Structure formats: structure tokens, C-alpha cells
């Protein structure tokens, strides 16, 4: 993937999140929409397909997959407004019905391209479980005054702007993001100096230093990409 393509994908994922929030979609359906988009363009090029059409369709498919079904009419209207901020809202006319039919037809096409595999395990549940586990290791005051959990959740949300979700297992992503959050705040997990197994191995025993390093590097690259995409 070239830097130019990466910047386009970053902008389109930001569009997915903006439109999804306007549609009151929760974090997991938004994550599923992002994965659908990334998986589609892992096999196809930007020269072949309109990324914003695929993104709009991904929102519609994700809503169904995660049982947060949103009317196609609302998705078309919200996505149109997110793309055309200076234009008036769509009226119930030829343009609206043309867009609606295009997204409806694209839904089946995207599903076929993904071989109807749109059920994914996300890091969210692992992150929640691991944070609750680690909380018991810290002194209450230390945990409450350091926003480790909030930082890790922010990293997770932002990570979908890149392709981290396609590169590593959800359990590993959760651990890697917690590790990164701890580093950012200069905090170490208590009682680690005299243990044979580090805390991250306790959480998932098949993770390695190299995996954690790669996860952190991908997230940092994604933030660098944000700077490039907005300049």
C-alpha cells in the first residue's frame, strides 16, 4: 500500500466513524464497518471502486451484522451530508433513489467479495476484561488518578483508521494497547520485578515482545498518517 492510498483509507475510515456517530452506532458496529472496509480493499484497489460507496455500504452491512439495524434511508442521507457539507440535504427525488439503489446493490456485492464472512471478534471485550484484571494489581489511588483505561480505549478506537485489525489477534491487540497506554503514562504494573512471567503473558500466553512492538509501531504509524492526511 502506498502512502497516498493509506491517506485515502484514513480519510474514509474517519468518514465511517463520523457518519456512524451521527447514526448513533455504538463502538462494535463501527469497528465491524471498519473491518469490512479494510478487508474489501485488501483484495481490491482504489482505482476499481469508490471508497466512499464501499464505506457507506460497510455501515449498512455492519448494522445488520451487529444487530443494530439502521434504515437504509437514514444511512444514505447521513452519509451524503457527511460528504457534501455545503449542499442542502437530499430530497425524496431521483438523486436519493439512485443513491439508495446503488448502496442496496452494493451490499450483495460486498458480501460476495467477503464470502459472506462478516462476523468478527474485536478486541473490545478482551480489553475490558484485561483492564478489570489489571486494576486489582494497582493501588486504587494510582489506578483512579491515571487514565490508563481511557487511553487504551482511545488507542483502540483510533487503531481502526489503520490496518491493525487485520494484522493481529484481538487478544494481542488488547494487550498491546494496554502496554502502550502504560508506557505513555510512565506507569509499570506492580510486582513485576520478581516474577517469572510478565503480566502480558499472564493475560494471553501466546503473545511475544515482537508482537507487542509491532502493535505499538502500527498505532504510532496510524497517528503519523493522520498528520499526513490532514496536511
How many degrees, rounded to 5, is the angle at CA 13 between CA 43 and CA 149? 115
Q: What is the pLDDT of residue 229?
A: 65
Q: What is the pLDDT of residue 91?
A: 75
Provide mean pLDDT across the span 49-73: 94
pLDDT > 70 fraction of the chain, expressed in percent and rounded = 99
Q: Do 126 and 132 form a contact (C-beta atoms < 8 A)?
A: no
pLDDT digits over 139-173, tens only?
A: 888 888 999 999 999 999 999 999 999 999 999 99
Q: Residue with C-alpha cell 460507496?
A: 53
Q: What is the pLDDT of residue 230?
A: 65
Concatenated DSSP letters of 161-201: TTTHHHHS-HHHHHHHHHHHHHHHTT---TT-TT-SS-HHH
CA–CA dist 216, 210 (Å, integer): 10
Residue 131 clears pLDDT 90, i.e. is over it: yes
C-alpha cell read off for 66: 451487529
R_g (Cα) of the chain, nearest Å: 20
Tell me the pLDDT band of 226, cut-offs 50, 70 and 90: confident
pLDDT > 90 fraction of the chain, expressed in percent and rounded = 68
Q: Which CATH architecture has domain 124-229?
A: Orthogonal Bundle (1.10)
Provide mean pLDDT across the span 40-61: 94
- Give ranges for CATH 1.10.472.10 in the chain: 3-113, 124-229
pTM equals 0.91
> 3: exposed, middle or buried (C-beta count within 10 Å: 0-12, 13-18, 19+)?
exposed
Q: Do 114 and 29 form a contact (C-beta atoms < 8 A)?
A: no
Which CATH superfamily groups domain 3-113? Cyclin-like (1.10.472.10)
Tell me the pLDDT band of 69, cut-offs 50, 70 and 90: confident
> 205: exposed, middle or buried (C-beta count within 10 Å: 0-12, 13-18, 19+)?
exposed
Amino acid at each position: 500500500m502506498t502512502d497516498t492510498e493509506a491517506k485515502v483509507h484514513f480519510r474514509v475510515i474517519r468518514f465511517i466513524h463520523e457518519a456512524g456517530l451521527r447514526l448513533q452506532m455504538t463502538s462494535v458496529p463501527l469497528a465491524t464497518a471498519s473491518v469490512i472496509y479494510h478487508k474489501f480493499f485488501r483484495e481490491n484497489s482504489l482505482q476499481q471502486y469508490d471508497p466512499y460507496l464501499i464505506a457507506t455500504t460497510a455501515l449498512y452491512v455492519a448494522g445488520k451484522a451487529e444487530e443494530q439495524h439502521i434504515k437504509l434511508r437514514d444511512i444514505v442521507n447521513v452519509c451524503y451530508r457527511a460528504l457534501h457539507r455545503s449542499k442542502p440535504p437530499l430530497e425524496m427525488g431521483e438523486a436519493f433513489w439512485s443513491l439508495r439503489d446503488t448502496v442496496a446493490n452494493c451490499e450483495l456485492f460486498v458480501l460476495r467479495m467477503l464470502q459472506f464472512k462478516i462476523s468478527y471478534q474485536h478486541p473490545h471485550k478482551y480489553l475490558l476484561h484485561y483492564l478489570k484484571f489489571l486494576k486489582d494489581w494497582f493501588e486504587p489511588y494510582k489506578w483512579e488518578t491515571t487514565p490508563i483505561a481511557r487511553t487504551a480505549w482511545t488507542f483502540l478506537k483510533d487503531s481502526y483508521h489503520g490496518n491493525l485489525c487485520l494484522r493481529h489477534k484481538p487478544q494481542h491487540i488488547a494487550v498491546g494497547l494496554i502496554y502502550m497506554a502504560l508506557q505513555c503514562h510512565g506507569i509499570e504494573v506492580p510486582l513485576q520485578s520478581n516474577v517469572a512471567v510478565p503480566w502480558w503473558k499472564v493475560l494471553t500466553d501466546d503473545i511475544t515482545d515482537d508482537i507487542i512492538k509491532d502493535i505499538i509501531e502500527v498505532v504510532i504509524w496510524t497517528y503519523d498518517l493522520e498528520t499526513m492526511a490532514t496536511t
